[in-house]
Amino acid sequence: MTQTKSTTGPTIQPEFSLTNHEGETVSEKTHRGDWPLDFFGLRHCPDNCPATLARFGNVMDGLGADASKVTLLFITFDPEPDRVADVDKYVSAMHPSIVRLMGSNMQIAEHHHRSRLSLRRFLKTQYLTPIRWGRLLPPI
């Protein structure tokens, strides 16, 4: 697998409605005024997800007071095995400020579509992998 770089740059947060780890509805309006960063991942990702989330945590710590202007949203793209309590424990261990979001398969598929991502099966496993413009999303 080769790494690719996104040439699309930042985009406006698309409309979405998902549920956070506390059972509250979260939409694109919830963090208006912040810099929201969507991270699509899964709890049982072996290496890229935890490494990337840990790097985001280090960035958040390094921002100091400016960290309050950034909201990192972890959105599971495999909601069936990723249960709320498991995702909460996994993601909060990476950094407590990361907002954990879940939804139905349809809600997540809609958010992927509005974010200009698509899903496909990867290496014939049960896991879906986000694809941007036909390429694997690179690690950050």
pLDDT tens, 20-79?
888 899 888 887 777 888 888 888 777 788 888 888 889 899 999 999 888 888 888 777
Output DSSP code: residue 4: -
Tokens standing for residue 43: 């709890």
Dihedral (Cα; 106, 39, 67, 94), 10-degree rounding:
110
Q: What is the pLDDT of residue 135?
A: 41
* pLDDT (0 to 100) of residue 64: 92
In the prediction, which pLDDT does 117 show? Answer: 65
The CATH H-level (homologous superfamily) assignment of domain 17-136 is: Glutaredoxin (3.40.30.10)
Q: SS3 of 118, please?
A: strand
What does pLDDT average to over the chain?
A: 74
For 12, other C-beta atoms within 10 Å of its C-beta total: 6
The answer to whether 138 and 125 have CB atoms below 8 angstroms apart is no
pLDDT score at 86 = 84
